[in-house]
Chains A and B, each alone.
Chain A
């Protein structure tokens, strides 16, 4: 469903991604790991369409369409979702109003009728229970004054409300305690089925104890330098990223 080929991208003239190749098929969960500065968040941002980043080469195909050619809202309409590493605080915009607008804008994009208030409320209640979210949180301004954990839970709550085909989680685990990680993972696992894809971007393998990946990729210097089964995450955790650095440096000098 997602095919990234030779993707080069950067910001303000500085190259960050230096030829990424990655394919995600329906039903697969991929994890991208890597040290700080390896380009993990850049990859997530480029896929979601953040305009600060410039794609200099390569292509990304999503469900048969050219993803890079689409506006951020069209990407969401096609079924892409990015859970932000740093969700934005918007004072004055209630979380409920925001999610309701998003749900109906996506329906509009797909040529569907807007969801009526009753159906929306029913859907919301169901997903609130799943994500252990209080109603009071949703009537507050979007992310304003939320704790780190509340922000991340709110991201995954939005995800389960919007039911994307491909979800990208950008360091969703950072700053979360173990209970919050369980709740977040529970939400993500509910999305997991044979049609949907999930891309987990993380620094630590901790989250991968709860969201078991089918494939693990190691990103280093803007390239995927190693791919493997879920055990690779454990190996990284044990040996640290230095072992990747050494391996890559050896290859490059060889």
Chain B
């Protein structure tokens, strides 16, 4: 049985057990959508350069409970990121949130299971925002996550509170005994005037294949501030589709940095919807892939209302046979006068067999806006290389310095210092072998 058939069987068993109450209807609708849309092929406009179908032909387990996994705090210690002793730590195992492995330090923070939040005082927030990403990500993979909506988490930064410790989110897959298909799901509510930092990372234990199909939906309310960091440095036999969908209300600020360093197929959907006036969004990304790895960053910035600012800079380094995709869409809706929207994607190819498809897109329906977009693909700066070598710096060190310099204006936007140092170290290690 291939994974798609397995999904159908599991879904029926699952719905039978959980009924159609509460989230059941959302799940059923999503499953219908999944059946209708299926797994995207390269004929799907948004999947032209990323062939995901092959992964679904492999055999995966689809865990619906924590039974059978035995991740200990000892296993987790090996995955912890620097600064964790001063962070809130949230842990997903095989896509299911684990309260016992998580720890909350900050009083400004609410962490509940999605099921619970959907039934209590947060019901309105959940109803309003859960599943909103499907309006922007129209493919069966997004629907699949919602169809199996279970074990997800609701995170709220309380109104007016500055959450003083960052939230580290570990998406762990236990591939020690079998191949795992994990579907973590979060709804993050940054309430009015609140401020919070999130850092997500991914790790697969053992030699099993993994597929993480993640959906994170975020609402940033009036005057709130969100920093969101994603660090993808999982093993070579791991696959990932990671959707981050951010809705912004008036005068809110968001700042995202997406760092991708490995994985077989890594696809990121980052949507930012500036739904009210005077929002500000900064999107940064750095991808540095090698071997047979494929990295795809799809971003959407949707300017709906006037006087918003968005700035996007993604940089890529590709080596060996690695392939990259950047697809950046900016919409400026008719009402969104006085929008400032900028986008840039720059790539360095280190080998003859690496390649990148980059496609910046602007769709403007308003007439009084400032927008720009552009992309570059090139080799490492030969003149710079000669300059450094002429000062006695060996070719290897010179290349490494130039690539670090190329990455610098992304890394400087990683504000939590332990995380920035952590990423700089990962990149320095990578450069040892370039």
Q: Which residues of A contact B (CB under 8 A)?
A: 48-51, 71-73, 75-77, 81-82, 84, 87-88, 90-93, 97-99, 101-102, 105-106, 109, 141, 158, 162
Binding site for A on B (CB under 8 A): 381, 383-384, 386-395, 397-398, 401-402, 404-409
- The contact of A90 among B384, B392, B395, B397, by CB within 8 Å, is B384
The docked-state distance in angstroms from the alpha carbon of A73 to that of B389 is: 5
On chain B, the residues within 8 Å of A101 by CB distance are 393, 397, 401
Task: Give Cα A145–Cα B398 distance, bound, in whole angstroms.
Answer: 21
Please determine whether B390 and A105 come into contact, CB atoms closer than 8 angstroms: no
A76 and B391 in contact, given A92-B406, A93-B401 (Cβ under 8 angstroms): yes
| Contact between B392 and A98, CB atoms less than 8 A apart | no
Q: Which residue of B lies closest to A102 (CB)?
A: B391
> Is the Cβ of A92 less than 8 Å from the Cβ of B405?
yes
Which residue in chain A gives the minimum CB-CB distance to B398? A73
Contact A109 B392 (CB under 8 A): yes
- A106–B383 CB distance below 8 A: no
Q: Which of A77, A101, A141 has the most CB of B within 10 A?
A: A101
Q: Provide the bound-state CA to CA distance between A76 and B393, in Å.
A: 8
> 17 A-B contacts, Cβ less than 8 Å apart?
A49-B389, A71-B389, A73-B390, A73-B398, A76-B390, A81-B390, A81-B391, A88-B381, A90-B388, A90-B402, A90-B405, A91-B408, A92-B405, A92-B409, A93-B402, A102-B388, A105-B397
How far is it, in angstroms, between the C-alpha of A48 and the C-alpha of B388 when the chains are bound?
Answer: 12
**A105 vs B392: C-alpha distance in the bound complex, in angstroms?**
6
Residues in B with CB closer than 8 Å to A92 are 404-409
Chain B CB count within 10 A is highest, among A71, A72, A88, A101, for A72
Give every chain B residue within 8 A of A105 (Cβ-Cβ): 391-394, 397
Which residues from chain A contact B397 at a C-beta distance below 8 Å? 101, 105
**In the complex, what distance in Å separates the CA atom of A232 from the CA atom of B407?**
50
Of residues B381, B388, B390, B398, which shows the largest number of chain A Cβ atoms within 10 Å of its Cβ? B390
Take A51-B386, A98-B388 as given contacts and tell me if A73 and B405 are in contact as well, using a CB distance cutoff of 8 Å: no
Cα-based distance from A49 to B391 in the complex (angstroms) = 11
Known: A93-B402, A105-B394, A105-B397. A88 touches B384 (CB 8 A): yes
- CA–CA, A93 and B399, complex, Å: 12
- By Cβ-Cβ distance, the 5 closest A-B pairs, closest first, are A92-B405, A92-B408, A76-B392, A106-B392, A93-B405
| A73 partner, pick from B384, B393, B407, beta carbons under 8 A | B393
Q: How far is the CB of A247 from the nearest CB of chain B, in Å? A: 35
A87 and B387 contacting across the interface, CB-CB below 8 Å: yes
- Chain B residues, CB < 8 A from A109: 392
Residues of B within 8 A of A49 (CB): 386, 389-390
Q: Is the CB of B405 within 8 A of A102?
A: no
Q: Which of B381, B391, B397, B401 gathers the greatest number of chain A CB atoms within 10 Å?
A: B391
For the complex, what is the distance from the CA of A50 to the CA of B387, rounded to whole Å? 9
When the two chains form the complex, which single residue of B383, B384, B389, B406 contacts A72, counting CB atoms closer than 8 Å?
B389
B387 touches A84 (CB 8 A): yes
Report the nearest A residue to B405, measured CB to CB. Answer: A92
Cβ 8 A contact of B390, one of A48, A90, A97, A141: A48
The answer to whether A91 and B390 have CB atoms under 8 Å apart is no
For A110, the closest partner residue in chain B by CB is: B392
CB of A72 within 8 A of CB of B390, answer yes
Shortest C-beta distance, A186 to chain B (Å), equals 21
Chain A residue numbers with a CB within 8 Å of B388 are 90, 98, 102
What's the nearest-Cβ distance from chain A to residue B243, in Å?
30
**What residues of A have a CB within 8 angstroms of the CB of B381 in the complex?**
88, 90
Residues of B within 8 A of A73 (CB): 389-395, 398
A73 to B401, CA, bound (A): 15
Question: B384 — which chain A residues lie within 8 A by C-beta?
Answer: 88, 90
Can you name the residue of chain B whose Cβ is closest to the Cβ of A84? B387
B405:A82 contact, CB within 8 angstroms: no
A91, B405: Cβ atoms under 8 Å? Answer: yes
Known contacts A72-B386, A91-B409, A92-B407; A98/B402 CB under 8 A: no
**Across-interface contacts of A99 in B (CB, < 8 A):** 391
Provide the bound-state CA to CA distance between A50 and B404, in Å: 23
Taking CB atoms, residues of chain A closer than 8 Å to B406 are 92
Q: Is the CB of B395 within 8 A of A93?
A: no
Which one, B386, B398, B408, contacts A50 given CB within 8 A? Answer: B386
How far in angstroms is the closest Cβ of chain A from B412?
9
Of the candidates B388, B398, B401, B409, the one having the most CB atoms from chain A within 10 angstroms of its own CB is: B388
Which chain A residues border B389 with CB–CB below 8 Å? 49, 71-73, 76
A158: nearest residue on chain B (CB-CB)? B391
- Which B residues are in CB contact (< 8 Å) with A51? 386
A97 to B407, CA, bound (A): 15
Residue of A nearest to B393 (CB): A105
Looking at B393, B404, B408, the one whose CB has the most chain A CB atoms below 10 A away is B393
The closest CB in chain A to the CB of B406 belongs to: A92
Given known contacts A90-B402, A106-B391, what 4 new A-B pairs fall within 8 Å (CB)? A88-B384, A92-B409, A99-B391, A109-B392
Inside 8 A of A141's CB, which chain B residues have their CB? Answer: 405
Shortest CB-to-CB span from A5 to chain B, Å, is: 23
Residues on the A chain within 8 Å of B395, using CB: 71, 73
By the criterion CB–CB under 8 Å, are A93 and B404 in contact? Answer: yes
Q: Is the CB of A98 within 8 A of B386?
A: no
Q: List residues of chain A with CB within 8 A of the CB of B394.
A: 73, 105
List chain A residues, Cβ under 8 A from B409: 91-92
Q: Tell me the bound Cα distance from A102 to B392 in angstroms.
A: 6
CA distance A105 to B396 in the complex (A): 11
CB-defined contacts of B383 to chain A, threshold 8 Å: 88
Are A88's CB and B404's CB within 8 A? no
A39 to B121, CA, bound (A): 80
Task: Evaluate whether A162 and B405 lie within 8 angstroms (CB atoms) in the complex, with A72-B386, A88-B384, A90-B384 already known.
Answer: no
A98 to B385 alpha-carbon distance, docked (Å) = 12
In the complex, what residue of chain B is closest to A164 when comparing beta carbons? Answer: B392
Cβ–Cβ contact B402 & A162, under 8 A: no
CA distance A35 to B23 in the complex (A): 81
A77 CA to B401 CA, complexed, in Å: 18
Collect the chain A residues with CB atoms within 8 Å of residue B407's CB: 92
* Bound Cα distance from A77 to B394, whole angstroms: 10
Q: Which chain A residue has the least Cβ–Cβ distance from B410?
A: A92
User: Which chain B positions have C-beta within 8 A of A48?
Assistant: 390
